């Protein structure tokens, strides 16, 4: 693969990750925007990610609810913790709890000048956006002929996929797929999981899945169980 193709692929994958992250965020207008969804398809096509592109087929059939309904579902299922979109909520806690994990995620962000405010740093949107930022940094380093910097960034991507986003995203996407009310997000959650899996494969990374063995209904509150507010810890952030 030539240098030009490599740069093109890195940037296309970064765009796909960014668009996917936005589709999983709290703003429902993104899901309802046909142009936005078309841009995601284009980015996946430009990156040659045919399997990820295939995950979007489900977008073609069902009609999406209106913005008000989508916003309510996002709060009810994601924000209130039924299917919590946080790394620390989707892996088995260690003796130290999730604090060391969050600190490590925050360290990755700081090294690239990224900061998360108003939410935990292990939110799916933040982790996908960080991965996109890292790929753009790698492309810039390669374009500038800075092989040492490119190697450092590539190593960071490998570590982040292996130790963080790759350990939980596929299991979380599978849980999203099991909830009928989350059907509008199912295709994009599947794309996100596929993008991370593709990145792991490209870089010969095997995510540390031993830390992500949770029951199939993990994070899904029962009808009579209280809903947990997973993102309201103001003491956590960067």
Domain ranges (residues) in the chain: 3-211
Residue whose entry in the numeric block shows the structure tokens 């405010």: 117
Please, where are the H alpha helices in 47-118? 50-54, 67-73, 99-111
Kindly report the pTM of this predicted structure: 0.86
pLDDT confidence band for 94 (50 / 70 / 90): confident
Q: State the Cα–Cα distance between residues 36 and 32, nearest whole angstrom.
A: 8
> pLDDT (tens digit, 9 = 90+) per residue, 16-41?
999 999 999 999 999 999 899 999 99
- CATH number for the region 3-211 comes to 1.10.3480.10
Q: Which of 21, 164, 192 is nearest to 103 (CA)?
A: 164
pLDDT confidence band for 61 (50 / 70 / 90): low
Q: Which pLDDT belongs to residue 208? A: 85
Any long-range contacts for 104-112 (C-beta under 8 Å, 24+ apart)?
A: 104/163, 104/164, 105/164, 106/237, 106/238, 108/156, 108/159, 108/160, 108/164, 109/238, 110/238, 111/156, 112/137, 112/156
Average pLDDT over residues 162-171: 96
Are 20 and 188 within 8 A, CB to CB?
A: yes
Q: Which pLDDT belongs to residue 90? A: 92
**Is the pLDDT assigned to residue 50 strictly greater than 70?**
yes
Please state, as a whole number, how many other Cβ atoms lie within 10 Å of the Cβ of residue 84.
Answer: 27
Q: Which pLDDT belongs to residue 105? A: 97
The residue ranking higher by pLDDT, 36 or 219, is 36
pLDDT confidence band for 215 (50 / 70 / 90): very low
Residue whose entry in the numeric block shows the structure tokens 């142009």: 35
pLDDT confidence band for 231 (50 / 70 / 90): very low
Are 150 and 102 within 8 A, CB to CB?
A: no
**Is the pLDDT assigned to residue 216 strictly greater than 70?**
no
Mean pLDDT, all residues of the chain: 86
**Is the pLDDT assigned to residue 238 strictly greater than 60?**
no
**Is the pLDDT assigned to residue 211 strictly greater than 50?**
no
The token duo for 186 is: 């199912």
Question: DSSP label at 91?
Answer: S
Q: Which of 157, 90, 88, 97 is nearest to 128 (CA)?
A: 157
Per-residue burial over 50-70, b if 16 or more Cβ lie within 10 Å, else e, is: eebbebbeebeeeeebeeeeb
């Amino acid at each position: 693969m030539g240098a030009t193709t490599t740069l093109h692929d890195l940037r296309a994958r970064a765009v796909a990750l960014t668009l996917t992250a936005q589709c999983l965020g709290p703003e429902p207008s993104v899901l309802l925007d046909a142009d936005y969804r078309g841009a995601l398809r284009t980015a996946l096509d430009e990156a040659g990610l045919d399997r990820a592109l295939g995950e979007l087929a489900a977008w073609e059939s069902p009609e999406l609810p209106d913005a008000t309904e989508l916003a309510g579902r996002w709060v009810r299922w994601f924000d209130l913790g039924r299917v919590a979109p946080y790394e620390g909520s989707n892996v088995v806690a260690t003796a130290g709890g999730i604090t060391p994990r969050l600190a490590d995620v925050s360290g990755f962000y700081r090294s690239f000048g990224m900061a998360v405010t108003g939410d935990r740093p292990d939110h799916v949107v933040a982790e996908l956006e960080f991965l996109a930022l890292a790929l753009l940094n790698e492309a810039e380093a390669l374009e500038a002929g800075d092989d040492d910097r490119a190697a450092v960034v590539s190593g960071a991507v490998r570590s982040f996929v292996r130790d963080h986003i790759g350990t939980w995203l596929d299991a979380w996407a599978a849980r999203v797929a099991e909830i009928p009310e989350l059907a509008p997000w199912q295709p994009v959650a599947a794309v996100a999981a596929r993008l991370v899996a593709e990145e792991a494969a490209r870089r010969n990374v095997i995510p540390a899945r031993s830390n992500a063995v949770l029951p199939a209904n993990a994070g899904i509150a029962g009808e009579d169980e209280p809903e947990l507010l997973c993102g309201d810890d103001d003491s956590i952030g960067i």
